[in-house]
Structure 1
Amino acid sequence: MSDLNCGSGGGSTTFHGLRIASVFIIWVTSSFAATFPVVARRSRRIYIPTPIFETAKYFGSGVIIATAFIHLLSPGVQELTSPCLAPAWQDYPYAFALALLSSLGIFIIEIIAFRIGTAKLKELGITHGHGAGALSASASGHEVPLTSSDPEKTEKDHEVVHTHGRLDKQGSFVSDEDALAQLIGVAILEFGVILHSVLIGLTLAVDERFKVLFIVVIFHQMFEGLGVGSRLAFLVLPHKYRHVPYLGSFLYGITTPIGIAAGLGVQTTYNPGSTRATMVSGILDSLSAGILLYTGFVELLAHEFLFNAQIREVGLPKLLYNLGCMMLGVGLMALLGKWA
């Protein structure tokens, strides 16, 4: 207990030049991992076979889930049970309660968004062939067929497309409400990941184990960026929202460098083991864990494996391959938890 540092002293100042360089190194690697799937998916000059995109997508789902358990919830528990905090923090599993709170909060937000979107679609006289799950399905990148509650409105519905959405080559309708559902889903994912990324940057800037942590963070951010980027790449949006995937990948790439830069700015005063830093980090980690747990299991795995008609109809080898990609993402990200 003699090594316990609960004060407000500064962090480590060794390897100062490399810590500064880490801002740009992690910016480049994180941005590339998150942006390349988006660019490759939309570019006519870069041909990437669809199976490779699907592999990245399932791998990324595994990364997100392992991040929630190993890199967020576990540290959150450790931080909120730290001896640096008041004894009251030891009397209740606050980390799990906060994760539960954020998961249910996101669930309620999606219910409200779904009801608003459904109501607006009814005003347009448009229904979706997949029923109540259409908006949620679209959030996972699956477009839904255009139908009308009144057969005589078919022509009108197709006119509405040009003002409120678009038809893809297969005749699937992507309305503004569908786009909203997708944007909410990806915003939830980005929010949880961004909170985590800023904390990683702050820690990297002042941690004594800089060399080991630096290498681990590079791989961590690349794997996580691939997960986020593959989800952004599969968004199906009206033309006016075409820049959203690029904005999402940019935000992901810049957050950890911002955290590192902020940490370097307060390097002589910020102590990640201090009472206040431990409490704030534990709360944010726990909330982020709940967000990513909900996103990983409900928005990603459930929609990709349980509610996806294509997956239900594929052969066993294809299903096992997709599951294997997901488990590989889980395994590699969980393994990184040994060092960070």
Structure 2
Amino acid sequence: MVNLQVCSFNMVGILFLLSLILPTISGDCTCDANTEEKHNSAALHYKLGAIASILLSSVAGVCLPMLGKKIPALRPENDFFFVIKALAAGVILATGFIHILPDSFADLTSPCLNQNPWGNFPFSGFFAMVSAIATLMVDAYATGYYTRLHFNKQANAGELEGGANENDGHVHVHTHAVHGHAHGAVIPTESMTLPELTRHRIIAQVLELGIVFHSVIIGIDMGASQSVSTIRPLVAALSFHQFFEGIGLGGCISQAKFETKSAAIMATFFSLTTPLGAVIGIGISSTYNENSPTSLIVEGTFNGLASGILIYMALVDLLAADFMNPRLQNNFKLQLWVNAALLLGAGCMSLLAKWA
């Protein structure tokens, strides 16, 4: 399993890096300067309200699928879970296509940037393609690596017990697997094979990484804005977005059968990322210029990378895996519900692009 501590360290590093880079250049370019009247005090009140709303929505969304032990309908083996997961996947897919990727194109083709090289090459699409391919490679390599690692351990354990009888060998392998689980190793469960469990765990962690990329950006953008008319619609839009994105991530965490501590770390980090980004934005609002070349390049690059990750994860790891599931294909009524949920999630998130 990918080391959660390393992932958390990298994510914190992203937050710290952005807090240093984005405010460094005030920028001389005013071609797209915001001419709306600014009300710092009123804007701050809206920002604080937005932080609280987004935090609560994130916690509720990511924790809801993880309550499957207490709410039978939310267990991964139930039909309703397929419907909820499709709804969340639609939200994530629309986030990548409708919100993040167009923002990246807008940033990296801004007239505030030099025509060469930014105007002569579609960097946003390139970054999205590279991140999607990289996600595929990480997904395939990590799954294969941890699967081989587990089976090699089993083979070595069997060789060490070569002189023992068959029953003793079985007991040793079982004990070894339990010992590995205590240290965070990936082992199969009663209802899931080893490759499936390994894949679910990698999916959950890669998906969270993609979410963190764009959550930091939207948090900083909201926190740095001084326009009440800009912030007001973001409160509802981002709360909706974080809630259903949290459901998608929470569903992946639930399917991955993480230990309680690991699941809590992932849920907490997801819930805090956008609010922390907003706090950073508030802190740099006096010097932050969204039209400075540095801000445009950093935001455009991160948005391009995040869009590729989220689009890949939504289509390949969330939707394709469920749509090709024999249980779904053998149930026409469930197929209709899942397709309707996908269209509803994607449609609602696309509609929000009108305001945010």
TM-score by length of 1: 0.80
Residue 95 (structure 2) pairs with residue 77 (structure 1): no
Residue 46 (structure 2) pairs with residue 29 (structure 1): no
> Relative to 1, partners in 2 of residues 1:235 and 1:218: Cα closer, same or farther, differing over 3 Å?
same
**Which amino acid letter does the alignment assign opposite residue 335 of structure 1?**
L
Indicate which of 330, 333, 337 corresponds to 1:313. 330
Preserved contact between residue 143 and residue 202 of structure 2 (Cα < 8 Å): no
Q: How big is the shift at 1:335?
A: 1.0
Give the Cα separation in 2 of the matches to 1:3 and 1:188: 37
**Which amino acid letter does the alignment assign opposite residue 227 of structure 1?**
G
> Relative to 1, partners in 2 of residues 1:331 and 1:173: Cα closer, same or farther, differing over 3 Å?
closer
**Which amino acid letter does the alignment assign opposite residue 122 of structure 1?**
F
Preserved contact between residue 200 and residue 255 of structure 2 (Cα < 8 Å): no
**Which amino acid letter does the alignment assign opposite residue 216 of structure 1?**
A
Indicate which of 171, 185, 195 corresponds to 2:203. 185
Match of 1:4 in 2: 31
Match of 1:56 in 2: 84
Q: How big is the shift at 1:274?
A: 2.2
> Relative to 1, partners in 2 of residues 1:206 and 1:121: Cα closer, same or farther, differing over 3 Å?
closer
3-state SS in 2 of match to 1:337: helix
Give the Cα separation in 2 of the matches to 1:154 and 1:162: 13
> CA-atom RMSD, angstroms?
2.6
Match of 2:238 in 1: 217
Q: How big is the shift at 1:160?
A: 4.3
Q: How big is the shift at 1:292?
A: 0.8
Preserved contact between residue 223 and residue 281 of structure 2 (Cα < 8 Å): yes
> Relative to 1, partners in 2 of residues 1:178 and 1:300: Cα closer, same or farther, differing over 3 Å?
closer
Give the Cα separation in 1 of the matches to 2:151 and 2:65: 35
> Relative to 1, partners in 2 of residues 1:298 and 1:262: Cα closer, same or farther, differing over 3 Å?
same
3-state SS in 2 of match to 1:42: coil
Indicate which of 269, 284, 299 corresponds to 1:281. 299
Give the Cα separation in 2 of the matches to 1:331 and 1:221: 16
**Which amino acid letter does the alignment assign opposite residue 111 of structure 1?**
A
Preserved contact between residue 35 and residue 250 of structure 1 (Cα < 8 Å): no
3-state SS in 2 of match to 1:187: helix
Residue 118 (structure 2) pairs with residue 118 (structure 1): no
Indicate which of 90, 105, 114 corresponds to 1:86. 114
Preserved contact between residue 161 and residue 167 of structure 1 (Cα < 8 Å): no
3-state SS in 2 of match to 1:271: coil
Match of 1:252 in 2: 270
Which structure 2 residue ranges, 5 or more long, are not aligned? 1-28, 156-165, 182-186
TM-score by length of 2: 0.76
**Which amino acid letter does the alignment assign opposite residue 19 of structure 1?**
K
Match of 2:94 in 1: 66
Give the Cα separation in 1 of the matches to 2:205 and 2:88: 16
**Which amino acid letter does the alignment assign opposite residue 15 of structure 1?**
A
> Relative to 1, partners in 2 of residues 1:334 and 1:162: Cα closer, same or farther, differing over 3 Å?
same
Indicate which of 18, 30, 46 corresponds to 1:18. 46
Match of 1:326 in 2: 342
Give the Cα separation in 2 of the matches to 1:179 and 1:97: 32
Percent identity (aligned): 27
Q: How big is the shift at 1:90?
A: 0.9
**Which amino acid letter does the alignment assign opposite residue 330 of structure 2?**
E
Give the Cα separation in 1 of the matches to 2:58 and 2:235: 13
Q: How big is the shift at 1:56?
A: 1.4
> Relative to 1, partners in 2 of residues 1:303 and 1:12: Cα closer, same or farther, differing over 3 Å?
farther
Q: How big is the shift at 1:313?
A: 2.1
Q: How big is the shift at 1:204?
A: 1.1
More strand by share: 1
Give the Cα separation in 1 of the matches to 2:288 and 2:240: 25
Preserved contact between residue 103 and residue 290 of structure 1 (Cα < 8 Å): yes
**Which amino acid letter does the alignment assign opposite residue 41 of structure 1?**
G
Give the Cα separation in 2 of the matches to 1:217 and 1:258: 14
Aligned residues between the structures: 301
Give the Cα separation in 1 of the matches to 2:337 and 2:220: 37
**Which amino acid letter does the alignment assign opposite residue 93 of structure 2?**
I
Preserved contact between residue 99 and residue 287 of structure 1 (Cα < 8 Å): yes
> Relative to 1, partners in 2 of residues 1:321 and 1:25: Cα closer, same or farther, differing over 3 Å?
closer
Residue 183 (structure 2) pairs with residue 201 (structure 1): no
Which structure 1 residue ranges, 5 or more long, are not aligned? 127-150
Match of 1:105 in 2: 134
